[in-house]
Amino acid sequence: MRETLAFDFERTFDQCATLLGDLTFPTVAAWKQEHPGGRVIGYFPVYAPSEIIHAAGMLPVALHGAGDGLELQHADARFGSFICSIVKSTLELAMTERLALMDGLLFSTICDSARNLAFVIKRNQPGMYVDFLHLPHNPNGTASHDFLASEYRRLIGHLQELSGRTISDEALRNSIAVFNENRNLLRRLYEFRRDYPERLRTWELYVLMRAGNFVPVETHNEWLRGVLEELPGRTGKRRDAIRVVIEGSFCEQPPLDLIRVMEEAGCTIADDDFILGRRWFNADVPVAGDPLMNLAESYQDRSVYSSVRHDNRNPRHKQLVEKVRQAKAQAVVFLTAKFCEPACFDYVLFKRELEAAKIPHLPLEFEEKAYTFDRFRMEVETFVESLLFE
């Protein structure tokens, strides 16, 4: 696998982009070949405790739908109208044996459609370990720390059964450290992109980050370190553009070409919520002490805000405005997946808060399978011009 994805800075981004579109999961297949008996656990967005999977000696794989690469033959009939694309494409991946590389699938409490999907897949994939994690929604007090630690213990029980090996606290601490490093590297890349967007385009950052879904975290860390080393030497010209924050793409992902179109149409993306699960914590998960409690407490107290996690201590509409200020952005573009109920609901309070703060915004709706972007380009260009020449 190292040969197939040997690090070469200038080719990295294109290699990553190619990897994302390959529904045969070549890097996962390669990992299985290199690790006879090795187990792979796929997880549906937004967040899963990858550290636990990693500590079990398994490969965590973040699934993000099928883009425009899959024609639905089975999933439409099972999920019908008014259901988002990623739910259907994930079921289609399963029912067309494309997830056969996975030894288990994890889902969590993000929305009603995804929850039902977990159990529909369970029925249609007999023999596969399919589980559902209840990630808590009450951040007040310590009850949810204890609960989530117990939920993680339940997961560990199943993973131990699957792998036949015990997961030690030491292994968990090591995994926490290596994922902390991954998140740190990504944070540094996000800061670099925020400060020097002409030297690191968002589509490049995006494919680099998302490729980490399919490779061991240690490999991903190498790539990220390599890119960070090379970036200061890169050049690029600043353009007339507006700085925007993207909100709403935390689960189903917009087509890569849509991100490119937004940049071409005059947006400098200063911050975003793409693949949010890879950057779930805004500070390191403590390594010393009880690892499961550290992960549980971090979920409650060190997570980024998200439409799929309730936290009335610091409402997400306030945090979006704060994010815009931190990013020195002029506007917000909502890239909301069609039928994404959490994002659609949150838009109401986001909109109200942005209007009160006099921050302009543009709501756009996409589907992962979209492949023509003329309308998007026109809407974005019109929005950009209205801000550049107002």
Partner 1 sequence: MSNTEKSDYRGQIHQLQKEMMVEWYQKLDESATTGKPPAVSLMISGNCIELLEAFDVLPLYPEVNALQLAIRRQSLEPILVAEEMGYATDNCAYVKADIGAMVKGITPAGGKLPVAALALCNFVGCNVYTKWFEHIAEFQKSPLFMLDVPFLRTDTPSKDDVAYVVRQLHDLVKQLEQITGKKFDMDRFREAVRNSARVEELWSRIKHLSKKKPSPYDAYFDAISLMGPLYVYRANPRGVHFFEVALKEYEQMVERGQGPFEKEKFRVVLEGPPPYPFFRTFRDMFAKWGACTVASTYSTVGGLWEFGFRHDPQEPFEAIALHMIENNVTNRNYLQRYDQIRRYVEEWDADGLIIHFVKSCRLFSAGQGDMRDYFTKELGIPTLYLESDIEDPRYFSEAQIKNRMDAFFESLGHAPARTAAQLSAGKAGSGIPMVPTASPKLRVLN
For partner 1, the binding residues (CB under 8 A) are 76-83, 87, 109-113, 115-120, 122-124, 126, 129-134, 136-141, 143-144, 146-147, 150-151, 154, 158, 161, 308, 310, 312, 315, 338-339, 341-342, 344-349, 351-352
Question: What is the closest distance, in whole angstroms, from the C-beta atom of residue 212 to partner 1 in the complex?
Answer: 27
- State which residue, 95 or 324, has the beta carbon closest to partner 1: 95
Q: How far is the CB of 345 from partner 1 (least distance, A)?
A: 4
Residues with Cβ within 8 Å of residue 325, at least 6 apart in sequence: none
Taking the least distance from each CB to partner 1, the nearer of 64 and 78 is 78
Smallest distance from partner 1 to CB 177, Å: 27
Nearest distance, CB of residue 191 and partner 1, angstroms: 31
**Residue 230 or 355: which CB sits closer to partner 1?**
355
**Structure-block tokens of residue 52:** 């636990």
Contact 242, 258 (CB under 8 A): no
* Closer to partner 1 by Cβ: residue 52 or 207: 52
**Could you tell me the smallest distance in angstroms from the CB atom of residue 233 to partner 1?**
45
CB closer to partner 1, 226 vs 363 = 363
CB of 158 to partner 1, least distance (A): 6
Sheet with 361-366: strands ordered across: 267-271, 242-247, 331-337, 361-366
Residues 6+ away with beta carbon under 8 Å from 243: 197, 267, 268, 269, 270, 327, 328, 329, 330, 331
Alpha carbon distance 390, 381 (integer Å): 14
- Amino acid of residue 147: F
Say what angle helices 256-264 and 374-388 make with each other, to 10 degrees: 30
- In this complex, which beta carbon is closest to partner 1, that of residue 115 or of residue 377? 115
| Helix/strand number for the chain, H first, E second | 15, 8
DSSP structure class, residue 281: B
Q: How far is the CB of 303 from partner 1 (least distance, A)?
A: 15
- Measured at the alpha carbon of residue 135, what is the angle toward residues 173 and 143, in degrees to the nearest 5? 85
DSSP state of 39: -
Q: 10 Å Cβ neighbour count for 93?
A: 23
In this complex, which beta carbon is closest to partner 1, that of residue 155 or of residue 270?
155
